[in-house]
Amino acid sequence: IDHVYKALLCLDIDLYSLEPDSVLEEAWIKEAVKRSGMNYKWAKLKEKEKDKENKDAVKRCPADPALLTPRPPVVTILGHVDHGKTTLLDRLRKTQVAAAEAGGITQHIGAFIVHLPSGEKITFLDTPGHAAFSAMRARGTQVTDIVILVVAAEDGVMKQTIESIQHAKNAQVPIILAINKCDKPEADPERVKKELLAHDVVCEEYGGDVQAIHISALKGENLVALSEATVALAEVLELKADTTGLVEGTIIESRTDKGKGPVTTAIIQRGTLRKGCILVAGQTWARVRLMFDENGKAVDEATPSMPVEIVGWKEVPSAGAEILEVESEQRAHEVVDWRNYAEQQKITKEDMEVIEAKQKEHQEAHRRERDKLGNLNWRARKTILYETNKKTVQRSNQRVESGDKNVLSVIVKGDVDGSVEAILNVLNSYTADECELDVIHFGVGDVSENDINLAEAFKGVIYGFSVNANTFIQQLAAKKGIKIKLHNIIYHLIEDLKDELSNKLPPSV
């Protein structure tokens, strides 16, 4: 335990990154956590991980088919720049402003509803087309049911028209074609339809199922026909949702409002959102304090397909994030803690920079602590390690000559003395009968040409902890067939090493 604790101190390793295995026993980790007091929260969360309920409680639930009721379609308008998307959205929105109560001020919240005279509703997303669409797709969320593809009748199919078609196809969302600017004398809607055939968008008159509506967004011509076509397609799609149960939705826009604090616009996809609901999204949560529609009017309820502005978030969740209702504030805390923890597990380059900064900050304190704990001071231990290393090199030489296959020669590079020592300590405690581990060289700093040459001579593998290998080195290594394995988490490094060792075993073992 002392051994492990010291190793952890040297590295300032976050304990959540360690998992018990044959090298690191659970008891050691627990004891080390107790002694160090560091990252206690993470270690506790780690325990929670075993509680499966914690993981599953933050997912969408499949709907009960018996409870499904029809819902309005959610539409995204895509198309080439300048083909009239904004004009069309403005027009559609204006039809509503006229219909809205006097004094209603339309504000941009990322989406709005169009109420048709027939009583039908359509939700339009007015976040800038492509970017929002891709962002949601990237997160695996999808709120759009129908894409209205705007193509200017005098311009025809352009680059972003093709991209838009691709977006819709990837998301498996059906298209309605709005051939715009038909008021222009040079407009040629038939040409547009023909050009689209080449992109697998086949209009009804060519035997396909894509409805094409000739419109003028500028003059507001034929917009009713466009809305009707949308409703007709929605009927075919049989869009339904369950208005009961825990609320589910997707954030389409978020911002910080001076007065209201973090504010999001969401499209509700399941359940009925009411004031007081507890929601989680990304790594934050909300107790819904206020809700507004696109006219800035306070609403008490939001049902599926309705865009609604939600006030009450602790922090600003990002657009595209999934909203899920939970039963209690305590549950929300648990879910957010869990997600923070899960996020921490995914250590990225940027995270590493933060961790490295933290490591350096704590290094001195830990060094003092470590020296107090160890019988030997750092210099003395280093000398011993050096001696051991020399012997190992000699042994390795002999082995290479005798062609012994069950030896894994490794070179260990670390960012600081402490990390190298800690890794060597863990490696020293590794024992396996079938395959031996030989450290042929170790040191501080990025992987160098010298390391490559050594690795080549010993047929070794280079392990780096929190160090880099520049392009030249990477290329050199690739040319010579040398493996460079860079890690930022000691546990991953050890796991990798164990994999490498088992590769060395004869197939029969």
Q: Smaller CB distance to ligand GDP: residue 84 or 156?
A: 84
Rounded distance between C-alpha atoms, residue 78 and residue 121, angstroms: 20
Burial 421-451 (b: 16+ CB within 10 A, else e): bbbbbbbeeeeeeebbbbbbbbbeeebbeeb
When asked if residue 180 is in the footprint of ligand GDP (CB under 6 A), the reply is yes
When asked if residue 132 is in the footprint of ligand GDP (CB under 6 A), the reply is no
When asked if residue 183 is in the footprint of ligand GDP (CB under 6 A), the reply is yes
The window from 176-184, 199-207, 276-284, 429-437 that contacts ligand GDP (CB under 6 A) reads 176-184
Q: Smaller CB distance to ligand GDP: residue 88 or 316?
A: 88
Rounded distance between C-alpha atoms, residue 135 and residue 233, angstroms: 25
When asked if residue 380 is in the footprint of ligand GDP (CB under 6 A), the reply is no
Subset of residues 351 to 370 that bind ligand GDP, contact rule: CB under 6 A:
none
When asked if residue 85 is in the footprint of ligand GDP (CB under 6 A), the reply is yes
When asked if residue 181 is in the footprint of ligand GDP (CB under 6 A), the reply is yes
Q: What angle do CA 78, 107, 118 make, to 5 degrees?
A: 65
When asked if residue 131 is in the footprint of ligand GDP (CB under 6 A), the reply is no
When asked if residue 216 is in the footprint of ligand GDP (CB under 6 A), the reply is yes
Q: Smaller CB distance to ligand GDP: residue 158 or 342?
A: 158
Rounded distance between C-alpha atoms, residue 212 and residue 226, angstroms: 9
CA separation, residue 354 to residues 174, 202, 274 (Å)? 44, 52, 39
Side-chain half-sphere exposure of 52, counting CA atoms within 13 A: 0
Q: What angle do CA 291, 295, 299 make, to 5 degrees?
A: 30
When asked if residue 94 is in the footprint of ligand GDP (CB under 6 A), the reply is no
When asked if residue 149 is in the footprint of ligand GDP (CB under 6 A), the reply is no
When asked if residue 214 is in the footprint of ligand GDP (CB under 6 A), the reply is no
Rounded distance between C-alpha atoms, residue 36 and residue 58, angstroms: 32
Nearest to 249 by CA among 310, 297, 333, 294: 310
Give min distance, CB of 188 to ligand GDP, in A: 14
Rounded distance between C-alpha atoms, residue 217 and residue 207, angstroms: 27
The window from 33-41, 210-218, 417-425, 493-501 that contacts ligand GDP (CB under 6 A) reads 210-218
- The answer to whether the CB of 468 falls within 8 A of the CB of 413 is no
The window from 163-171, 211-219, 294-302, 318-326 that contacts ligand GDP (CB under 6 A) reads 211-219
The window from 79-87, 291-299, 334-342, 398-406 that contacts ligand GDP (CB under 6 A) reads 79-87
Which residues of the chain form contacts with ligand GDP (CB under 6 A)? 79, 81-87, 180-181, 183-184, 216-218
